[in-house]
A and B are shown apart, each in its own frame.
Chain A
Amino acid sequence: MLNVRLYMLQRLSALVMAPLVVGHIAVMIVAVQGGLTTAEILSRTQGSLWWMLFYGLFVIAVSVHAAIGLRVVAYEWLGVKQKLSALLSIIVFIGLLILGMRAVFAVTLS
């Protein structure tokens, strides 16, 4: 089911996600201090290359990590055939990537 490439991608994406999750939660805690409004969030993210990179990378890592994880879950627990679970995982990857990137661009492009 998992070869060395998928295994390493799974580990590397986890490695990338760990600090991003911490950063994301830290910003959320800081951000809600003065009440949470759309305008306030957008004023921080719009036009910011940094936030675009931060969440862009986050979305890529999540898409990779979730797709590989679900591939194994589908195969081992739902009895989906190997080829089909590989296909499903590619669809999940592309789907998450498109949804996530749309959201990132929506809040960071001014």
Chain B
Amino acid sequence: MTDSNTETLNVSVWRGDASGGQFRDYQVPVQENQTVLDVVTWIQQKIDDTLSYRFACRVGMCGSCAMTVNGEPRWTCRTHVNRVTQSSSLEIGPLRNLPVIKDLTTDMDPFFDKWTKAGGTHRASRSRNDGMVPVDPASKERMIASEGIECINCAVCYAACDTVAANPQYLGPASLQRAWTLVNDEKHDDRSAVLRAVAAEGGCYNCHSHGSCTRYCPVELNPMKAVAGLKRTTVAKLWGK
């Protein structure tokens, strides 16, 4: 690479697998508008092609590129280096709260297993022969559902949540937010089954409402509010309302 820029970034990247590992240091030339994903890609292409990481869209759509950057969970393709570090050093590790497969790649199975466990699989209330359920976009229910449907399943909130870290059963913010959108979706069959799923052990009552999920969600959703909605609604059901 013919790069006249002499400035370099000192990047520590976590290398290892499920059995352990450590941070290793790399020097990466500074470039304008460089994202954290660009830095990781540069290391993989120019220094060590055995470095494993995951990405797909590079534009904040697919949710596959999340990592821990200077101690905080981030979507790396939309995180500019100069937004996360004032100095010239960067520490990049795998997402917290998920098993590591290798280097920066985590196993997302527990995340999606919980997503299913919280009742997240869509079950249509009508077959293709019945026609669509009319949904009024301005109805209260639809507006609540719409608040949560832009989730890209990046697991940033899941990594940010201390309750997930402390309580392995806890379903976590993303799956509960998904459940909340279904509870408010007229097209979903048997919405009370979703409420039962989130009220079970490991469900919404474990949330301490400290809001890390909402603070870190890169697409600015509010999973904490969704979990609060589930608590309210399930309890109201208990009272027969």
Contact = CB atoms under 8 A, between A and B. Distances in A.
A4 interface: yes
A6 B205 CA distance: 9
A1 B235 contact: no
B119 to A, nearest CB: 16
Interface in B178-203: 199-202
A76 B231 contact: no
Given A1-B206, A4-B234, A76 B166 contact: yes
A77 interface: yes
B164 to A, nearest CB: 10
Q: What bracket does the count of chain A residues touching chain B fall in?
A: 10 to 19
Contacts of B1: none
A110 interface: no
B167 A3 contact: no
A2 interface: yes
Given A8-B235, A8-B238, A3 B205 contact: yes
Interface string A1-32: 11110111000000000000000000000000
Interface string A29-71: 0000000000000000000000000000000000000000000
A75 interface: yes
Given A7-B205, A7-B231, A76-B163, A1 B169 contact: yes
A interface majority secondary structure? helix
B231 A1 contact: no
Q: Which one of B163, B166, B201 has the highest number of Cβ atoms from chain A below 10 Å of its Cβ?
A: B166
A1 B168 CA distance: 10
Contacts of B167: 1, 75-76
Contacts of B231: 7
A4 B163 contact: no
Nearest to A8: B235
Contacts of B201: 1, 3
A46 to B, nearest CB: 40
A87 B238 CA distance: 26
Interface of A: 1-4, 6-8, 75-77
18 contacts: A1-B167, A1-B201, A1-B202, A3-B200, A3-B201, A3-B205, A4-B199, A4-B205, A4-B234, A4-B235, A6-B205, A7-B205, A7-B231, A7-B235, A8-B238, A76-B163, A76-B166, A77-B166
Given A3-B199, A75-B166, 12 more contacts: A1-B201, A1-B206, A3-B200, A3-B205, A6-B205, A7-B205, A7-B231, A7-B235, A8-B235, A8-B238, A76-B163, A77-B166
Q: Nearest 6 CB-CB pairs, A to B? A: A76-B166, A7-B205, A2-B205, A4-B199, A1-B206, A76-B167
